[in-house]
Copies of this chain bind each other. A is one copy, B any other.
Amino acid sequence: MNNTEQIAKEFTQLCTAGKFEQAGQKFWSDDVVSIEPPGAPADIQRIQGRKAVDAKGKWFSENHQVHDVKVEGPFVNGDEFAVRFEMEMTPKGKSRVHMTEVGLYRVKNGKVVEEKFFTS
């Protein structure tokens, strides 16, 4: 098992256990780039650095009630891995939504240096 596979498995196990923040805390590089899908608020479309992704995570958890998450993966190739998320959630003041997305993660020196989210 190479380094990317190992990180992909640990990362996905933490997500499966609902520990999304811990997954990030453990594996994000200091200058990690995080890219949201089109339709995300402009100020979080593409952000860089631990401080910015921490702030986005805080904003998300304060503004969304997550009812259920299904995690599938990881799907690995080379220095990248993909994870499929299926989420049932209610954004603050809005209606409950069911969302499916794919997260694509690039690994370098044992850390996630980029995450990019794709929506259907």
Contact = CB atoms under 8 A, between A and B. Distances in A.
A52 to B, nearest CB: 18
Contacts of A120: 72-76
Q: Give how many copies assemble into the complex.
A: 2
Interface stretch (A13-21, A25-33, A58-66, A77-85): A77-85
A101 to B, nearest CB: 6
- Which of the four size classes fits the interface of chain A? 20 to 34
A104 interface: yes
Most buried by B among A74, A75, A117: A75
A80 B119 CA distance: 11
Interface in A80-120: 80-82, 84, 100-102, 104, 116-120
Interface of A: 35, 37-38, 72-78, 80-82, 84, 100-102, 104, 116-120
* A-B pairs, 10 with minimum CB distance: A75-B118, A75-B102, A82-B102, A77-B118, A82-B118, A37-B77, A75-B120, A73-B120, A77-B116, A75-B119
